[in-house]
Amino acid sequence: MTDKRRTFDDSFKLEVMRMIKDKGLGVSQVCRDLDIGDTAVRCWGQQYEAEQLGLVGDG
């Protein structure tokens, strides 16, 4: 049995980052609420921070 990898569009990722950065919610809480893995969200956070600094984020 193979698990199909879920994909998330950029607007969803940005909304998740806004929940964490602007609303002050914790990564663990957001992951539980949205049923997504914390590793992915932490990677999105690194991308978000890089883009805020004017750098090109990975992916």
Q: What is the DSSP string of 1-59?
A: --PPPP---HHHHHHHHHHHHTS---HHHHHHHHT--HHHHHHHHHHHHHHHTTPPPP-
Is 40 inside any structural domain?
Answer: yes
Is 21 inside any structural domain?
Answer: yes
- At 59 the pLDDT is 55
Is 5 inside any structural domain?
Answer: no
pLDDT tens digit sequence for 3-59: 788 899 999 999 999 999 999 999 999 999 999 999 999 999 999 999 888 887 565
pTM: 0.79
| Residue numbers of the domain that contains 26 | 10-52
Is 57 inside any structural domain?
Answer: no
The Cα–Cα gap between 1 and 25 comes to 35
The number of domains in the chain is 1
Is 17 inside any structural domain?
Answer: yes
- At 29 the pLDDT is 95
Q: What angle do CA 17, 5, 57 make, to 5 degrees?
A: 40
